[in-house]
Amino acid sequence: MTPHDLAPFVTAFFTRHLPAERNASPHTIAAYRDAMKLLLRSLAAAVHRDAAALHVEDLTPERLLHFLTALETTRHNGIRTRNARLAAIHSFVRYVLDSEPALAALGQRLLAVPFKKAVRPVLGYLSDHALAQLLVQVDRTTPAGERDYLLLALLYDTGARVQEILDVAPRDFRLVAAPFVRLRGKGQRERLVPLLPQTARLVTRYLATRHIADAERAPLLRNRRADPLTRHGARYLLAKYVQRARSTHPSLFRDAVSPHTLRHTKAMHLLQAGVPLITIKDLLGHADVKSTEIYVQSDLEMKRDALVSAGTLTVPPRSSRRPPKDLLAWLEAL
């Protein structure tokens, strides 16, 4: 049987299927592109041909497993990254199956390559005191400091993913009575998230001092070169202020703090304030309430640990009497 060229499937997958048929976000397309680039390099090295000359049949389960192993051993990727790359490849394989049924046997074998079970990390979040200490580290007298403070305030107030905040444009805010912001999450799903009045004032002041029009469609937060702030830049800024806070309050910042930690913090604070789980789900933009239940489980564990550490009066104190010499006689006398 004549082998099937891989290149036409790859180009159609990225130019037609993902953007037009699935309406995938630019971030999803970029993540899938990176996975495919790594896979093509691995296959090209294995068969000693250029990537453009590869065949679909060159992608065997054995070579896919070799590629995934190399991600962990050579590139030192974690299991979650390994699984994300595999998910992208599975998506491509399903597209190939739909396009060319003759490749069904190979495709099913590739789809059978399993994901690895990853250890779920402990859900970290900041206390009210720790959050206040983090925010106070920002020098708000400078334009850069005002931007950084707004970034942290929006991440916490909305409980949004960092990319959702970085994509927000001035036109996405309503800053009058009952202020809110329109966020675009996974799967291009939009949601409206209320803003606290003080956060709305921060945005209003930022727009005024930067002379930014309310209808502006470009991202609100930018770096010193006037380019949109990236996830790497946001993580760098947060790490800078966490390090400052840790130097004066090490007990409050024992664990690593990422932009996602502020999302967890908002969710935990809402839960502890008695906000219903279904409302938290909608605010966070979860597609399923099961994704939100991890906050309930984490909160229960913390409460249980607190009760254990505090002790309980229901446990009777140990008797100071010596045990009887004749235990059977003692039992008989009960």
pLDDT digits 0-9 by tens, 204-262: 999 999 999 988 999 999 999 999 999 999 999 999 999 999 999 999 998 889 999 99
Tell me the residue type at 124: G
- pLDDT exceeds cutoff 70 at 302: no
Task: Give me the chain's average pLDDT, please.
Answer: 88
CATH number of the structural domain spanning residue 230: 1.10.443.10
The range of the structural domain enclosing residue 45 comes to 7-111
Same domain, 135 and 104: no
**Average pLDDT for 186-195:** 87
Residues 161, 260 within the same domain? yes
The answer to whether the Cα torsion of 165, 169, 175, 178 is positive or negative is: negative
pLDDT in tens, 87-122: 999 999 999 999 999 999 999 999 999 999 876 665
Could you report the per-residue pLDDT of 66-86, keeping only the tens digit for each? 999 999 999 999 998 999 999
Q: Are residue 229 and residue 287 in the same domain, yes or no?
A: yes
Q: Within this chain, do residues 200 and 142 fall inside the same structural domain, yes or no?
A: yes
65 lies in the same domain as 34: yes
Grade residue 292 by pLDDT with cuts at 50, 70 and 90: confident
Instruction: Identify whether 118 is part of a domain.
Output: no
Q: Which long-range contacts (CB under 8 A, 24 or more apart) does 201-208 make?
A: 202/149, 202/150, 202/153, 203/150, 203/154, 203/173, 203/175, 204/175, 205/146, 206/146, 206/147, 206/150, 207/170
pLDDT of residue 199: 95
- C-alpha 315: how far from its chain's center? 43
Q: Is the pLDDT of residue 311 over 60?
A: no
Based on the domain organization, do 56 and 145 belong to the same domain?
A: no
Note whether 162 and 268 are same-domain residues.
yes
Q: Which two tokens stand for residue 122?
A: 């402990």
Do 202 and 140 meet the contact criterion of CB atoms below 8 Å apart? no
Residue 317 has pLDDT above 80, yes or no: no
pTM for the predicted model, two decimal places = 0.69
Backbone φ and ψ for 191, nearest 5 degrees, come out as -150, 150
Structure tokens belonging to residue 171 = 């036109």
As a whole number of angstroms, the distance between CA 157 and CA 174 comes to 15
Confidence of residue 324 (pLDDT cuts 50, 70, 90): low
Question: Active-site positions?
Answer: 161, 186, 260, 263, 286, 295
Residue 116 placed within a domain? no
The answer on 254 and 203 residing in a single domain is yes
pLDDT of amino acid 43: 96
The CATH number of the domain holding residue 61 is 1.10.150
pLDDT of residue 232: 95
pLDDT at 122: 59
Read off the pLDDT of each residue in 262-283 and give the average, rounded to a whole number.
88
Partners of 193 in the beta sheet? 181
Residue 184: half-sphere exposure toward Cβ, Cα within 13 Å = 13
Q: Are residues 93 and 152 in the same domain?
A: no
Query: Alpha-carbon distance 152 to 148, whole Å?
Result: 6
The predicted-structure confidence for 122-136, as pLDDT tens digits, reads as follows: 568 899 999 999 999
Q: Residue 312 pLDDT more than 90?
A: no
Q: Which of 172, 151, 173, 170 is nearest to 162 (CA)?
A: 151
More confident residue, 271 or 133: 133
Give the mean pLDDT of 146-153.
97
| Residue-level pLDDT at 112 | 96
Is the pLDDT higher at 281 or at 299?
A: 281
The pLDDT score that the predictor gives to residue 155 is 96
Q: What is the number of domains present in the chain?
A: 2
Alpha carbons 317 and 37: distance in angstroms, whole number: 66
Residue 66, Cβ neighbours under 10 Å: how many? 13
The pLDDT score that the predictor gives to residue 286 is: 85
User: What would the pLDDT profile of 5-35 be if each residue is shown by its tens digit?
Assistant: 999 999 999 999 999 999 888 888 999 999 9
pLDDT in the model for residue 272 = 85
In angstroms, the first-to-last Cα distance of the chain is: 88
Amino acid at 211: H
Eight-class DSSP state of 13: I
Given a cut of 90, whether residue 62 has pLDDT beyond it is: yes
- DSSP secondary structure string, 207-223? HHHTT--TT--S-S-B-
